[in-house]
Structure 1
Amino acid sequence: MSEADLIARTDKPGTRESLAADLASLGLKTGETVIVHSSLSALGWIAGGPVAVIQALLDVLGPEGTLVMPAHSAGLTDPANWRAPPVPADWVDIIRANMPAFDPRKTPTNGMGQIAELFRTWPEVERSQHPNCSFAALGPEASRILCDHALDSPLDERSPLARLYDLDAKVLLLGVGFDRCTILHLSEHRAWPERPLEAGGAPVLVDGVRRWVPYSAPPVGDSDLFVPIGSQLAASGKAATGRVGAADCVLLSSRVLVDHAVSEWREGGLPETEYHAPS
């Protein structure tokens, strides 16, 4: 979307102050821990762009709150598993040998949007050490959430998602749907723990030296499965809905969301969809 299109679809410019007021009206409270998924363009034209959005979130949460965002870098996965698009087979060894090692300060996010990409560089933000499924956080709970992110547990019990569940963090969708809701991957693992692991690998630093490290991890399913879960919770009143800027947004408890999905999916059984390694 061009900036001209964005201006045309915006009735009134959003500001740091107006966004903070909208977030508070949605139900976000001082001192909470929240994981945010976002689309800057969905919010309409914002004075200050992604800077103002992050400032507004931090204004509402205050110094006792903790802000978390996904900081995934999907390019740091095994090229042999790439499907969208695949690369020629004779490229795989070259890519594995030359892909830079994950560096939490340098490695950019991929497909997370402008807000999340800026947030990972924000002063004092911490980032977990997973090469392709990291998370970024700022606040008193950041270290607890991000520590010991296991290579073979990108999105399940030894990941920041499980610690967010333990804290009953809030999930905030700013202009995006439940298909972008990462914590539902934790529900997949809990509903279908019998899924076979899939082989992968990534370039990481081991004692300061770049190495290609193979590992196996639970597969990642079709995020289209997430959308009905969100619709059910919104219809039941367990998810708050409202506008932040020009965007339709959702706020709800991570435990309510994860537990509901686990219950629904266990009852329905393992879907006949193709699962794949994070990529």
Structure 2
Amino acid sequence: MTEENVIRKKQTLVTKERLVADFRKLGLKEGMVVIVHSSLSALGWVCGGEVAVIRALTEVVTERGTIVMPAQTANNTDPAFWENPPVPEAWWEEIRRSMPAFDPAITPTYGMGRIAELFRTFPGVLRSNHPNCSFTAWGRDAKSILSGHSLDFPFGEKSPLARIYDRDGCILLLGVDYHANTSMHLGEYRSKHTKRCTQSCAMKINGKRVWQSYEDYEENSDLFNKIGRAFERSHQVKTGFVGAAPSRLINQRALVDFTVQYLDDLYADAEKAHH
């Protein structure tokens, strides 16, 4: 959305002070572990843009807590899987040969929004070393949440998502829906029915650029909004507006467990129908 459209559509001026008040009203507190998924344009016209949003988040959570954001680079994957947009098959080999290796210090995020992209560069923010599915974090547990992020199954048991789960952290959806809720992939991974696949990317191994394959599960976020709606019928989710953005604060552990159960039930029903 252009800046002009944001001003016209949202008719809302949002300052850092207002963001701080709205975050607190939603239930964000000092010392929390929280993963944030966000849309800057959904908030209204923010005075100071993404800088103001990040400063408001760090002011509320403080260094006693930890803020995590997705820093994924879906453009550093096998072009054979690309869908929006796809590229001609004739290009695939050249892309595999030429894609620059992931570098946690400089590789920009892809499709994560302006807040997540700026957060990556903020003082004190660390980034996990996954060439496709990295996360960034700031605060007390940043290092321990990000360390040991495995190449295989990057949203699984050796991922920052599982470390947030261990710490009983929260998810903040800022003007985005469950489709953007990466933690639900951990639920997919834990479900007994998710199929495996092989993915690949450009990365450095011992200082040399290589095109490296790794094991993953087939991810499908198409069901996430449906699962989210079902979750909200049976669980408490804190909802409210941050600026002009409809927002949610969710217990991550409860949602991940619910996602596992939902998918297991869904596949069990499908198998019954098949027989």
TM-score interval (norm. to shorter): over 0.9
The 2-side partners of 1:237 and 1:243 are apart by 19
Alignment of 1:68 onto 2:72: no
Give the letter for the 1:139 counterpart.
G
State the match for 2:214 in structure 1. 215
- 1:9-30 Cα offsets, whole Å, 9 max, x none, are 3344111111010000000110
TM-aligned CA deviation for residue 8 of structure 1: 2.0
Inter-CA distance 3–256: structure 2 relative to 1 (3 Å threshold): same
Q: Secondary structure, in 3 states, of the residue corresponding to 1:73?
A: coil
Contact 1:32/1:61, CA 8 A, preserved across alignment: yes
Q: Secondary structure, in 3 states, of the residue corresponding to 1:161?
A: helix
Contact 2:62/2:139, CA 8 A, preserved across alignment: no
State the match for 2:33 in structure 1. 33
Contact 1:80/1:92, CA 8 A, preserved across alignment: yes
Q: Secondary structure, in 3 states, of the residue corresponding to 1:269?
A: helix
Q: Secondary structure, in 3 states, of the residue corresponding to 1:112?
A: coil
Give the letter for the 2:152 counterpart.
D
Segments of 5+ residues of structure 2 without an aligned counterpart are 271-275
Give the letter for the 1:198 counterpart.
C
The 2-side partners of 1:271 and 1:17 are apart by 49
- 1:229-254 Cα offsets, whole Å, 9 max, x none, are 22233334511000000010000110
Q: Secondary structure, in 3 states, of the residue corresponding to 2:93?
A: helix
State the match for 1:224 in structure 2. 222
Q: Secondary structure, in 3 states, of the residue corresponding to 2:213?
A: strand
Contact 1:77/1:200, CA 8 A, preserved across alignment: yes
The 1-side partners of 2:74 and 2:269 are apart by 24
Give the letter for the 1:41 counterpart.
S
Give the letter for the 1:179 counterpart.
H
Inter-CA distance 18–76: structure 2 relative to 1 (3 Å threshold): same
Q: Secondary structure, in 3 states, of the residue corresponding to 1:9?
A: helix
TM-aligned CA deviation for residue 135 of structure 1: 0.4
The 1-side partners of 2:3 and 2:195 are apart by 45
TM-aligned CA deviation for residue 271 of structure 1: 9.2
Contact 1:78/1:201, CA 8 A, preserved across alignment: yes
Contact 1:234/1:240, CA 8 A, preserved across alignment: no
The 2-side partners of 1:270 and 1:189 are apart by 16
The 2-side partners of 1:218 and 1:23 are apart by 34
Q: Secondary structure, in 3 states, of the residue corresponding to 2:107?
A: coil
Q: Pick one of 236, 239, 242 that aligns with 1:238.
A: 236
TM-aligned CA deviation for residue 270 of structure 1: 6.8
Alignment root-mean-square deviation, CA? 1.6
Q: Pick one of 233, 247, 250 that aligns with 1:249.
A: 247
Segments of 5+ residues of structure 1 without an aligned counterpart are 273-279
Contact 2:30/2:65, CA 8 A, preserved across alignment: yes
State the match for 1:277 in structure 2. none
Q: Secondary structure, in 3 states, of the residue corresponding to 2:36?
A: strand
Contact 2:14/2:47, CA 8 A, preserved across alignment: yes
Alignment of 1:51 onto 2:58: no
Give the letter for the 1:264 counterpart.
Y
Q: Secondary structure, in 3 states, of the residue corresponding to 2:31?
A: coil
The 1-side partners of 2:258 and 2:44 are apart by 32
State the match for 2:273 in structure 1. none
Q: Secondary structure, in 3 states, of the residue corresponding to 2:46?
A: coil
The 2-side partners of 1:162 and 1:214 are apart by 22
Give the letter for the 2:52 counterpart.
A
Give the letter for the 1:97 counterpart.
R
- TM-score normalised according to structure 2 size: 0.94
Between the aligned residues of both structures, percent identity stands at 49
The 1-side partners of 2:76 and 2:11 are apart by 40
Give the letter for the 1:218 counterpart.
Y
Equivalent pairs counted in the alignment come to 270
TM-aligned CA deviation for residue 171 of structure 1: 0.2
Q: Secondary structure, in 3 states, of the residue corresponding to 2:96?
A: helix
Contact 2:71/2:136, CA 8 A, preserved across alignment: yes
State the match for 1:98 in structure 2. 98
Contact 2:188/2:194, CA 8 A, preserved across alignment: no
State the match for 2:13 in structure 1. 13
State the match for 2:203 in structure 1. 204
